[in-house]
Amino acid sequence: MENPAPVVLDPAGRDIHGEAARIRANGPVARIELPGGVLAWSIADQELARQALSDHRLSKDPRQHWTAFAEGRIGEDFPLIGWVLMDNLTTRYGADHTRLRKLTAGAFTPRRVEALRPEVQKAVDELLDELDGCAPGEVVDLKARFARPMPARVICDLFGVPAEDRVQMLRGGEANIDTTLTPEESAANVAQWHREMAEFVESKRRDPGDDLTSDLVQAQAEDGSRLNDSELVGTLHLLLATGTEPVMNLLANATRALLTHPEQLALLKNGKVTWADVIEETLRAEAPVAHLPFRFAVEDIELGGVVIAKGEPVLINFAAAGRDRTVHGDSAHTFDATRPNKEHLSFGHGIYRCIGMPLARMEAEIALAALFRRFPDLELAVPAQDLSPQVTFIMNGVETLPVRLTPQSR
Ligand code: HEM
| Domain contains 258 | yes
pLDDT for residue 223 is more than 80: no
pLDDT for residue 132 is more than 70: yes
CA 186 to ligand 1 centroid distance, Å: 22
| Domain contains 196 | yes
CA 354 to ligand 1 centroid distance, Å: 4
CATH no. for residue 363?
A: 1.10.630.10
377 is in which domain, residue-wise?
A: 7-404
CA 54 to ligand 1 centroid distance, Å: 15
Identify whether the C-beta of residue 327 lies closer than 8 Å to the C-beta of residue 77: no
352 Cβ below 6 A of ligand 1 = yes
For residue 303, the tally of other CB atoms under 10 A from its CB is 21
CA-proximal residue: ligand 1, atom 7 (nearest):
347
| Domain contains 1 | no
Instruction: Give me the pLDDT at residue 183, please.
Output: 84
CA 91, distance to chain mean position in Å, is 16
| Domain contains 177 | yes
| Domain contains 2 | no
pLDDT for residue 168 is more than 90: no
d(CA 382, CA 367): 22
Identify whether the C-beta of residue 103 lies closer than 8 Å to the C-beta of residue 207: no
Q: What is the mean pLDDT of the chain?
A: 94
pLDDT for residue 410 is more than 90: no
CA 357 to ligand 1 centroid distance, Å: 7
90 Cβ below 6 A of ligand 1 = yes
Confidence of residue 59 (pLDDT cuts 50, 70, 90): very high
| Domain contains 410 | no
Max Cα distance, the chain (Å): 65
pLDDT for residue 199 is more than 60: yes
242 Cβ below 6 A of ligand 1 = yes
Mean pLDDT for the stretch of residues 252-268: 98
d(CA 194, CA 169): 10
Q: Which amino acid is at 115?
A: A
Give the H or E element holding residue 345: none
CA-proximal residue: ligand 1, atom 28 (nearest):
356
* Mutate-to-test residue for ligand 1 from 53, 116, 242, 251, highest number of ligand atoms within 8 A of CB: 242
Question: What DSSP character marks residue 395?
Answer: B
301 Cβ below 6 A of ligand 1 = no
* Domain tally, the chain: 1
Confidence of residue 77 (pLDDT cuts 50, 70, 90): confident
348 Cβ below 6 A of ligand 1 = yes
| Domain contains 409 | no
Of the candidates 318, 359, 300, 403, the one whose C-alpha atom is nearest the C-alpha of residue 151 is 359
pLDDT tens for 312-371 read 999 999 999 999 999 999 999 999 999 999 999 999 999 999 999 999 999 999 999 999
Q: Which amino acid is at 184?
A: E
